[in-house]
């Protein structure tokens, strides 16, 4: 090692700079001012240490995967079980995250007592009571509610709404009823219509667009559209961003609410690379849309996904980040896909 001295005889040693510490990638921070979220599930929260660690650090908004669905939160008439949903809300508060409520009007996961034997008047009373009681319980704690979930028909343009108990009893007034009841309870949360298969320019999204235009014209309260984005590998539609933008141009917020990319085959380097590309494409579409407020994945890690053996999420079964994780980070930072 070469040294030098000053005239005073003081020995100077060469300055050695320590290598900068690598900062962990925190997606919730990269997403700002948007939110990065996940569906949270009390089956794993606090019961799976690694799951809990990831979900505690990476996300800024949560959706309860099942805990607020009608069959769980009101299993018997006017008998409410808020315990599991409360656990997620309290967890979100503890990590400084917001909450999305999910959901009020859906044709699935209803308790057995909500059935076609109810008259329209009885069902109407049950719907209003359900929305009012749940929203009152969570007043001031929920950023947005999926008031409407999956009500647009898959058979558009021949049919506008799905055939379920709500449309059977209320016809085309079903969705306005739920949205109007929700707004009457609380003026603050964003009221969402959430659906799948509406991500691309096409018949189903055209139908929803027309329905929403009518709602806005008629004063039906709706603030935002949720695009679920359950995709299979390599099938992210090329018109996703254009479609997000046209709904935003109506003066609505838009959000990716239930994102996952199903490999639908063996997990290998090629598949994971395409999955990463797909995640980047979806997040980038949100980034390019001014009123796209959040991207949420439906779950956290592959072992706890609703899709068995699909390896659809950004973390693997060991809770290690996959290429998709880094692709999401790149998209939030405005970097090109790798």
Query: Among all residues, which ones are annotated catalytic?
Result: 258
Token pair 């409410």 in the structure block, residue: 80
Q: How far apart are CA 75 and CA 81, in angstroms?
A: 8
The DSSP symbol for 338 reads: -
Distances (CA, A) of 105 to 180, 194, 237, 296, 315: 12, 10, 27, 20, 31
Q: Which two tokens stand for residue 232?
A: 């299979």
For residues 166 and 155, the answer to whether their CB atoms sit within 8 Å is: no
Side-chain-facing half-sphere of 209: CA atoms under 13 Å: 20
- Spell 291-314 as b/e; 16+ CB within 10 A means b: bbbbbbbbbbbbbbbebeebbbbb
């Amino acid at each position: 090692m070469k040294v030098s001295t000053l005239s005073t005889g003081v020995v100077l040693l060469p300055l050695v700079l320590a290598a900068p510490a690598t900062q962990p990638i925190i997606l919730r921070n990269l997403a700002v001012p948007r939110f990065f979220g996940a569906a949270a599930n009390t089956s794993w929260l606090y019961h799976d240490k690694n799951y809990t660690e990831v979900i505690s650090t990476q996300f800024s908004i949560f959706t309860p995967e099942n805990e607020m669905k009608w069959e769980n939160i009101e299993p018997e008439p006017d008998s409410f079980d808020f315990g599991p949903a409360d656990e997620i809300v309290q967890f979100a508060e503890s990590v400084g995250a917001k909450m999305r409520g999910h959901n009020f009007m859906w044709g699935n996961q209803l308790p057995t007592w909500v059935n076609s034997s109810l008259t329209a008047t009885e069902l109407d009373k049950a719907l209003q009571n359900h929305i009012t009681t749940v929203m009152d319980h969570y007043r001031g704690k929920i950023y947005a509610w999926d008031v409407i979930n999956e009500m647009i028909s898959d058979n558009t343009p021949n049919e506008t709404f799905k055939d379920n108990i709500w449309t059977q009893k209320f016809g085309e007034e079903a969705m306005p009823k739920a949205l109007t009841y929700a707004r009457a309870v609380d003026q603050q949360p964003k009221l969402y219509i959430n659906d799948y298969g509406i991500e691309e320019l096409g018949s189903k999204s055209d139908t929803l667009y027309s329905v929403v235009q009518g709602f806005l014209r008629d004063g039906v309260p709706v603030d935002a559209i949720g695009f679920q984005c359950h995709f299979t590998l390599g099938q992210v539609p090329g018109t996703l961003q254009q479609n997000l933008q046209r709904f935003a141009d109506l003066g609505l917020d838009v959000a990716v609410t239930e994102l996952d990319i199903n490999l639908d085959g063996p997990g290998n380097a090629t598949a994971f690379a395409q999955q990463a590309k797909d995640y980047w494409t979806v997040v980038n579409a949100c980034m390019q849309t001014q009123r796209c407020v959040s991207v949420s994945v439906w779950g956290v890690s592959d072992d706890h996904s609703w899709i068995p053996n699909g390896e659809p999420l950004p973390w693997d079964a060991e809770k290690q980040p996959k290429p998709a994780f880094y692709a999401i980070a790149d998209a939030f930072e405005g970097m090109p896909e790798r």
